[in-house]
Chains A and B, each alone.
Chain A
Amino acid sequence: MKALEVKNIIKQFPGVLANDKINLFANKGEIFAIVGENGAGKSTLMKIIYGLYTPTSGDIYIFDEKANIKNPHDAIRLKIGMVHQEFMLIPRFTVTQNIVLGDEPHKGIIFNYKKALIEVKDLSEKYRLKIDPREKVANLPVGIQQRVEILKILRRGAEILIFDESTAVLTPEETEDLFKTLTKLKENGKTILFISHKLKEVITIADRIAVLRRGKLQGVVEKKNTNEVELARMVVGRDVVLEIPKVKTKIGKEVIAVTNLTVKNNRGIIGLKNVSFDVHASEIVGIAGVEGNGQSELVNALIGFTRPLKGKVIFNGEEIRLLTPYNLRTKGLAYITEDRKRRGLVLPFKIRENIIMGQHTLYPFSKNRILNDPEIDKFSTKKLEEFDIRPRDIYARISNLSGGNQQKIVLAKEMSTNHNFLLASQPTRGLDIGATEFVYKKLVGEKKKGIAILLISLELSEIMALSDKILVLYEGEIVGETTPDKTNEEELGLMMLGIKRQEKVIQ
Chain B
Amino acid sequence: MKDTLKKVIFGRKEKYWWMNILVPFISIFLAFIVGAIFIKTTGRNPVVAYKLLFGASGLFPGPYWKGHFAEMLLSSSMFIATGLGFAIAAKGGLFNIGAEGHFIVGGITAAYIGYAQPFASLPKIIHLPLIFILAMLMGGLWAAIAGYLKAKRGIHEVITTIMLNWIALYLIEGWLVIGPMKAAVETGVSGTPYISQTAKLPKILSGTRLNISIIIIIIVLYLVWYLFYKTTLGYEIRAMGHTLIFGMESPKASGINVERRTIQTMFISGAIAALGGVFMVLGILFQYPPIFEGGYGFDGIAVALIGQNEPIGVLLAGILIGALRTGATSVQLAHIPKTFPSIIEGFAVAFIALQALVRYWLMKLIRLKKSIPIKIEGDAK
Contact B12 A395 (CB under 8 A): yes
Contact assessment for B248 and A353 in the assembled complex, using a CB-CB cutoff below 8 Å = no
Residues of A within 8 A of B229 (CB): 371
Cβ-defined partner of B239 (8 Å) among A303, A305, A357, A371: A357
What separation, in Å, do the CA atoms of A348 and B243 have in the docked complex? 9
In the complex, what residues of B have CB within 8 A of residue A69's CB?
none
- Give the interface segment out of A139-147, A283-291, A339-347, A491-499: A339-347
Docked-complex contact A346 and B251, CB < 8 angstroms: yes
Min CB gap A162→B, angstroms = 26
B255 within 8 A of A: yes
Q: Is B257 an interface residue (CB 8 A)?
A: yes
Say which residue of B232, B239, B249 sits within 8 Å of A349 (CB atoms). B239
Cβ distance B19 to chain A, nearest Cβ, rounded Å: 14
**A229 → B minimal CB distance (Å):** 37
Do A326 and B257 touch across chains, with their CB atoms under 8 A apart?
yes
Q: Which residues of A contact B253 (CB under 8 A)?
A: 303, 305, 325, 335, 337, 343-344
Residue of A nearest to B14 (CB): A397
* Cα separation A349 to B239 with both chains bound (whole Å): 8
The answer to whether A343 and B250 touch across the interface, beta carbons within 8 angstroms, is yes
CA distance A460 to B95 in the complex (A): 45
| Contact yes or no, B250 A345, CB < 8 A | yes
Q: When the two chains form the complex, which single residue of A305, A330, A357, A371 contacts B251, counting CB atoms closer than 8 Å?
A: A357
Chain A residues, CB < 8 A from B243 = 346
Q: What is the CB-to-nearest-CB distance from B115 to chain A, in angstroms, rounded to a whole number?
A: 38
Residues of B contacting A305 with CB < 8 Å? 249, 252-253
Asked whether any CB of chain A lies closer than 8 Å to the CB of B231, the reply is yes
* Segment with Cβ contacts to B, from A180-188, A210-218, A358-366: A358-366
B14: min CB distance to chain A, Å = 6
The reply on B235 being an interface residue by CB < 8 A is yes
Which residue of the partner chain A has the closest CB to B247?
A342
Question: Within the complex, what minimum Cβ distance (angstroms) separates A410 from chain B?
Answer: 10
In the complex the two chains form, is B232's CB within 8 Å of A361's CB? yes
Report the separation of the CA atoms of residues A366 and B234 in the bound assembly, to the nearest whole angstrom.
12
> Is A241 located at the chain interface by the 8 A CB criterion?
no
B162 within 8 A of A: no
Enumerate chain B residues within 8 angstroms of A343, measured Cβ to Cβ.
248-250, 253
Chain A residues, CB < 8 A from B11: 395
CB atoms of B250 and A344 under 8 A apart: yes
- Nearest Cβ in chain A — how far from B147, in angstroms? 19
B350 within 8 A of A: no
Q: Does B145 contact A (CB under 8 A)?
A: no
Q: Is A371 touching B249 in the complex (CB atoms < 8 A)?
A: no
Q: Of A325, A395, A397, which contacts B255 at CB under 8 A?
A: A325
B residues near A346, Cβ cutoff 8 Å: 239, 242-243, 248, 250-251
How distant is A201 from chain B, measured CB to nearest CB, in Å? 29
Instruction: Find out whether the CB atom of B254 lies under 8 angstroms from the CB atom of A358.
Output: yes
Question: Nearest Cβ distance between residue B76 and chain A, in whole angstroms?
Answer: 30
B256 at the interface (CB under 8 A from A): yes
Q: How far is the CA of A360 from the CA of B242 in the complex (A)?
A: 17
Number of residues from B at the complex interface, CB < 8 A = 27
A330 surroundings in chain B (CB, below 8 A): 255
Query: For chain B residues 216-270, which have a beta carbon within 8 Å of chain A?
Result: 229-233, 235-236, 238-239, 242-243, 247-257
A369 interfacial contact with B, CB 8 Å: yes
Is A369 a contact of B249 with CB atoms below 8 Å?
no
Residues of chain B within 8 A of A370, CB atoms compared: 230-232
Q: Which of A52-96 contact B (CB under 8 A)?
A: none
Task: Indicate if the CB atoms of A357 and B250 lie closer than 8 Å.
Answer: yes
A contact residues around B239 at 8 Å (CB): 346, 349, 353, 357
Does A447 sit within 8 A of B, measured CB to CB? no
Q: Would B252 and A342 count as touching, CB distance under 8 A?
A: no
Q: What is the bound-complex CA distance between A342 and B244, given in angstroms? A: 10
**A329 CB-CB contact with B under 8 Å:** yes
Interchain CB contact under 8 A, A371 and B235: yes
Q: How far is the CA of A348 from the CA of B309 in the complex (A)?
A: 15
B309: min CB distance to chain A, Å: 13
CA distance A337 to B248 in the complex (A): 13
Closest A residue, CB atoms, query B235: A360
Residues on A with beta carbons closer than 8 Å to the beta carbon of B232:
360-361, 366, 369-371
Please report the C-alpha to C-alpha distance between residue A369 and residue B230 in the assembled complex, in whole angstroms.
Answer: 9
Among B14, B248, B250: residue with most chain A CB under 10 A: B250
Shortest CB distance B237–A (Å): 12
CB pair B249 A347 closer than 8 Å: no
Q: B254, A325: Cβ atoms under 8 Å?
A: yes
Q: 8 Å CB contacts to A: which residues of B142-189? A: none
Instruction: Find residues 369-420 in chain A having any chain B CB closer than 8 Å to their own CB.
Output: 369-371, 373, 395-397
Distance between Cα atoms of A360 and B237 in the complex (Å): 13
Q: Which residues of chain A (209-235) have a CB below 8 Å from chain B?
A: none
Q: Which A residues are CB-close (under 8 A) to B255? A: 325-326, 328-330, 358
Proximity string of chain A (11-25) to chain B, C-beta cutoff 8 Å, 1 when within and 0 when not: 000100000000000
CB proximity of B88 to chain A, nearest CB, Å: 17
- Taking the closest CB of chain B, its distance from the CB of A284, in whole angstroms, is 22
- Closest B residue to A372 using CB positions: B230
Residues from chain B with a CB closer than 8 A to the CB of A303 are 253
CB pair A326 B256 closer than 8 Å: yes
| B242 near A347: Cβ-Cβ < 8 Å | yes
CB distance from A34 to the nearest CB of B (A): 28
Chain B residues near A324: list those with CB within 8 A.
Answer: 257
Q: Cβ of B14: which chain A residues have Cβ within 8 Å of it?
A: 395-397
* Binary B-proximity of A312-355 (CB < 8 A = 1, otherwise 0): 00000000000011101110000101000111111111000100
- Measured between beta carbons, the chain B residues less than 8 angstroms from A349 are 238-239, 242
Among B13, B15, B248, contact of A342 (Cβ-Cβ < 8 Å): B248
A504, B233: Cα distance in complex, Å: 48
For B230, what are the chain A residues with a Cβ–Cβ distance below 8 Å?
Answer: 370-371, 373
Which A residues lie within 8 Å of B249 (CB)?
305, 342-343
Closest to B257 in A: A326
| Closest residue on chain A to residue B378 by CB atoms | A57
**Chain A's nearest CB lies how many Å from the CB of B378?**
9
Inter-chain CA distance A328–B257, complex, in Å, is 12
B-side contacts of A373, CB under 8 Å: 230
Contacting pair A325 B250 (CB below 8 A):
no
Taking CB atoms, residues of chain B closer than 8 Å to A357 are 239, 250-251, 254, 256
Task: List chain A residues, Cβ under 8 A from B251.
Answer: 346, 357
Shortest CB-to-CB span from B235 to chain A, Å, is: 6
The residues of B that contact A369 with a CB separation of less than 8 Å are 231-233
Docked complex Cα distance between A35 and B269 (Å): 51
Most chain A beta-carbon contacts within 10 A, residue among B236, B252, B255: B255
Name A325's contact: one of B15, B242, B252 (CB within 8 Å): B252
Q: Which residue of B lies closest to A330 (CB)?
A: B255
Q: Could you tell me if B242 and A348 are in contact, using CB atoms closer than 8 angstroms?
A: yes
Closest B residue to A337 by CB, please name it.
B253
Measured in the bound complex, the distance between the Cα atoms of B251 and A462 in whole Å is: 28
A342 to B13 Cα, complex, angstroms: 25
Give, as a whole number of angstroms, the nearest-CB distance from A150 to chain B. Answer: 28
A397 to B20, CA, bound (A): 15
**In the docked arrangement, what's the CA distance between A353 and B230, Å?**
12
Q: List 6 A-B contacts (CB under 8 A).
A: A329-B254, A337-B253, A357-B254, A360-B232, A369-B233, A397-B14
**B contact set with A: CB distance below 8 Å:** 11-15, 229-233, 235-236, 238-239, 242-243, 247-257
**Nearest 7 Cβ contacts at the A-B interface:** A358-B254, A329-B255, A326-B255, A343-B253, A357-B254, A348-B242, A342-B248
**A-to-B contact residues, CB < 8 Å:** 14, 303, 305, 324-326, 328-330, 335, 337, 341-349, 353, 357-358, 360-361, 366, 369-371, 373, 395-397
Known: A346-B239, A346-B251. 12 other contacts (CB 8 A): A324-B257, A325-B255, A329-B255, A346-B243, A347-B242, A349-B242, A357-B254, A358-B254, A360-B235, A370-B231, A371-B235, A395-B13
